Amino acid sequence: MAKKNRPAAPPGAASQDKPATLKDLLNPDVVSKLKAQADQMKAEAEIQREEARKQAEAARKAEQKRLDNNFEYLLNNSGMDWKKYN
C-alpha cells in the first residue's frame, strides 16, 4: 500500500489560531515583577544548596579528623601488616 501524502496545514494559520495565554493577558509590569521574583527565588535556592554542600563538607572533614585521632581505626586501615612486628 502506498502512503498518501496529506497536505500540511499552513504554518501561518496555526499561529493565528492560538488561544490567548496568561502572559498576553497580564500587564507587562506584572510579568516583569513575576520574572524578577522567580529569578530571586532561584538565586536563594542556589545559595541554600551551596550552604548545604558546605555544611556536608565540613561534617565530612570533622568525621575524618575524628577518625584520624582514633588509633584503632588507623591501625585497621593502615596498609602495613602489623602482625609481622610482634
pLDDT digits (tens, 9 = 90+) for 25-38: 778 888 899 999 99
pTM, two decimals, is: 0.53
Higher pLDDT, 2 or 78: 78
Q: How far apart are CA 77 and CA 71, in angstroms?
A: 10
Task: Write out the three cell numbers for 24.
Answer: 498576553
Q: Look up residue 53 and give its three cell numbers.
A: 554542600
Percentage of the chain lying above the pLDDT 70 cut? 78
Q: Read off the pLDDT band of 3 (50, 70, 90).
A: low
40 pLDDT above the threshold of 80: yes
| Count of alpha carbons within 13 angstroms of residue 65, beta-carbon side | 6
